[in-house]
Amino acid sequence: MLIHLQACLPITNNRHQSSISDAVAVLEGIGSAAKCSVQRRQSVLLALAALLVLPAIYSLTRSNSAKKSVLTLISEPYRLDKIYRSMEGPWSVQSEIQLPAQKSPTVQWVTGVEAEVVDAVQQKPISQEFFCHSNLTFAEHKASPDQYNKELGGKTYLDWRLFTLVPGRLSIELPPGFGVPVPSNARLDYVTMSLNLNPGSDGVDVRMRTNVLTVAAD
């Protein structure tokens, strides 16, 4: 009986060692697969990071062919010597304004509008409380927005009004890379209105000074 057990022991040990070897091989395979999976994941993340970073690097290093311009508009003088509530104050319109002309681009991109109230004579900034509103629109007696939309290939949805400024929001500047497309041959109107809510105050003469920010590019 002892001989039989001794004879069987090596067989049992060999099977046990074989099972251990198989288990080790399986674990090594799992570890290798996990390592490959991590490497693939890292490669994907690096590729995504490159896709995100390269456009930013290109935009910073490429030559800037867009031509930026500022058109300054000065309104008529407004005499404020009594109470003028909202939509009741003196106003004026500057008609058929042409944006800064460029030779090659057929489109001017309006990227922002900035207005401020200034003294009518010295044109120095004064209290902004006299500002009622302003509207930058396409010229009333020129082509319609629908005509301009067709001229721009039917891919725009321009309306008569482009920008509106109100008390508390005397400037609008769109994020970099954004703008309102305006054909270079288009004409614009700009309306400004004042107000005065100070009873018994001395009269004041004001103007509205506005900067229209544009970029010329097709």
User: Is 1 or 113 the better-scoring residue by pLDDT?
Assistant: 113
The H-or-E segment that residue 158 falls in is: none
Residue 193 has pLDDT above 80, yes or no: yes
Contacts 24+ apart (CB under 8 A), 123-130: 123/74, 123/207, 123/209, 126/204, 126/206, 128/167, 128/170, 129/167, 129/197, 129/198, 130/78, 130/80, 130/194, 130/195, 130/196, 130/204, 130/206
pLDDT at 36 (0 to 100): 63
Residue 99 has pLDDT above 70, yes or no: yes
**DSSP 8-state code for residue 177:** T
In the predicted model, what is the mean pLDDT of residues 42-51? Answer: 74
Q: Are 194 and 78 in contact (CB under 8 A)?
A: yes
Tokens of 95: 């008609």
Alpha carbons 107 and 218: distance in angstroms, whole number: 5
pLDDT, one tens digit per residue, over 111-160 is 999 999 999 999 999 999 999 999 999 999 999 999 999 999 999 999 99
For residue 100, name the pLDDT band (cuts at 50, 70, 90): confident
Alpha carbons 52 and 38: distance in angstroms, whole number: 21
What's the whole-model pTM score?
0.70
pLDDT, one tens digit per residue, over 148-162 is 999 999 999 999 999
- What is the phi/psi pair of residue 196, to 5°? -150, 115
Nearest alpha carbon to residue 93 among 123, 126, 134: 134
Nearest alpha carbon to residue 116 among 104, 131, 102: 131
